[in-house]
C-alpha cells in the first residue's frame, strides 16, 4: 500500500480558517450557514487547525459536523502549536495573525511526542469529535524543521501506528520544508499552500517529484493566490502574499485570464481544477466566508473544462507541460 492509499480524500474540500474569523468576524449563525452551504454543495472533506481563530474554527466546525454521520466525511486538523493562556491579554484581538478573536490564548510551539499527542487530544476536545482522520504538522519551518524531522514526525508516525489517526502529513507554503518532510518522514499526504496554483507552480520543481518518488499524496490549498484568481477579471490592487503583486506575475495573470476567456472557462474554475491535473494531487481545499462562495466553488469544481485549455496554457508556457 502506498502512503496516499491509507486515506481516500474527496477531490474538493473546505478549509475552515474563515469560520475562525479570518480577516473578518462571523457570528455563529453566519459560520453555520457557510458550513451548511459547503455540505449541501456536496463537500465532504473539512480541514481546520488550532491556529485558526485560536480554536474557534475547530469548535464551530466540530459543532456542525456533530450533526452529520461520522462516516460521511473526512476531517483533518493540525499539530505543532498548543493553545495556552496569554498572560499579556488586555482585551485585544488576534489581528496580528489576521483573526478577529480575543487574543486571550497564545500559540506555543511543541514538537515533542507529548506535545503532539496533547495537540491531538485538545483538538478532539474542541471539535467534540473523537475520530480525526488526518493530522498535519502545521508550518514546522516557522519553528524548527530539524526538530520536526527528529521528534514531531516520528511521534505522528506512532499515532498512526497506534490507530489514533488514519494518516499524517505536513501543511506548509514553503517548498523546501515540504520536500524535506516528504523525503525525511513517512507521510501519507501533504498540504501545499499556494505553491502549486494556476498562477505559479514552484512546487513542480521539487515537491511534486519527491511526492511521486515516495508515493505521497498532495492536497492543494490557497489555489486562488490570496484571491487573485477568485474572479474572472483580476484586479491589479489584489492582495498578494508577499505584499504588492509583482509586475511579472500581473502580466502572467492577464495572459492566463485571456486564455480562459478564449475558451469560455471562468478563471476561478480553472484555478480550482488546475492542481488536479497533476498526478498525485488528491484534493483541492478552498476557503470562503459566505455561503454563496461555497456554492459557486462547488459549481466551478464540477464544471466541464476542455482539454484544449490546459494544452493552450502549457503551449504558452503558463503551466507545466
Catalytic residue IDs: 52
How many alpha carbons fall within 13 Å on the CB side of residue 7? 29
Strand partners, 78: 136
Q: Read off the C-alpha cell for 169.
A: 502529513
Could you identify the residue written with the cell 459549481? 299
| E strand or H helix at 37 | helix 28-40
Give, for 127, the enclosing helix (H) or strand (E): helix 113-127
Determine the Cα–Cα distance for residues 161 and 135; give it in Å rounded to an integer: 13
How far apart CA 229 and CA 320 sit, in angstroms, is: 18
DSSP code per residue over 171-233:
EES-HHHHHHHHHHS--SEEEEESSSSSS--GGGTTHHHHHHHHT-EEEEE-TTTTTTTSSSS
Strand partners, 193: 221
Q: Is 151 exposed, middle or buried (0-12, 13-18, 19+ CB in 10 A)?
A: middle
Q: Which three cell numbers stand for residue 181?
A: 518532510
Distance from C-alpha of 131 to C-alpha of 318, rounded to nearest angstrom = 41
SS3 string, 86-123, reads: CCCCCCCECHHHCECCECCEEEEECCCHHHHHHHHHHH
The contacts of residue 321 (CB under 8 Å, 6+ apart) are: 314
- Residue 17's nearest CA partner among 78, 90, 83 is 78
**CB of 187 closer than 8 Å to CB of 170:** yes
Amino acid at each position: 500500500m502506498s502512503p496516499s492509499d491509507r486515506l481516500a480524500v474527496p477531490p474538493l474540500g473546505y478549509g475552515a480558517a474563515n469560520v475562525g474569523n479570518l480577516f473578518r468576524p462571523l457570528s455563529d449563525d453566519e459560520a453555520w450557514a457557510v458550513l451548511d452551504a459547503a455540505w449541501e454543495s456536496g463537500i465532504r472533506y473539512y480541514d481546520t487547525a488550532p491556529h485558526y481563530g485560536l480554536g474557534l474554527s475547530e469548535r464551530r466546525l466540530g459543532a456542525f459536523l456533530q450533526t452529520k454521520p461520522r462516516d460521511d466525511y473526512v476531517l483533518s486538523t493540525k499539530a505543532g502549536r498548543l493553545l495556552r493562556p496569554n498572560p499579556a491579554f488586555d482585551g485585544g484581538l488576534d489581528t496580528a495573525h489576521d483573526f478577529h478573536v480575543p487574543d486571550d490564548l497564545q500559540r506555543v510551539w511543541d514538537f515533542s511526542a507529548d506535545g503532539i499527542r496533547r495537540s491531538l487530544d485538545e483538538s478532539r476536545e474542541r471539535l467534540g469529535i473523537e475520530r480525526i482522520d488526518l493530522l498535519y504538522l502545521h508550518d514546522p519551518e516557522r519553528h524548527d524543521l530539524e526538530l520536526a524531522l527528529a521528534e514531531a514526525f516520528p511521534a505522528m508516525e506512532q499515532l498512526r501506528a497506534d490507530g489514533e489517526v488514519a494518516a499524517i502529513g505536513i501543511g506548509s507554503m514553503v517548498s523546501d520544508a515540504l520536500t524535506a518532510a516528504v523525503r525525511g518522514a513517512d507521510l501519507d499526504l501533504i498540504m501545499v499552500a499556494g505553491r502549486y496554483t494556476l498562477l505559479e507552480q514552484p512546487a513542480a520543481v521539487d515537491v511534486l517529484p519527491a511526492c511521486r518518488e515516495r508515493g505521497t499524496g498532495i492536497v492543494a490549498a490557497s489555489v486562488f493566490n490570496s484571491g487573485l484568481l477568485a474572479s474572472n477579471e483580476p484586479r491589479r490592487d489584489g492582495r498578494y502574499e508577499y505584499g504588492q503583486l509583482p509586475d511579472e506575475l500581473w502580466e502572467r495573470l492577464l495572459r492566463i485570464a485571456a486564455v480562459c476567456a478564449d475558451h469560455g472557462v471562468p478563471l476561478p474554475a480553472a484555478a480550482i481544477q488546475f492542481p488536479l491535473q497533476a498526478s498525485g494531487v488528491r484534493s483541492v481545499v478552498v476557503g470562503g466566508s459566505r455561503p454563496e462562495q461555497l456554492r459557486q466553488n462547488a459549481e466551478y469544481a464540477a464544471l466541464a473544462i476542455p482539454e484544449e485549455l490546459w494544452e493552450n496554457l502549457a503551449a504558452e508556457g503558463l503551466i507545466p507541460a
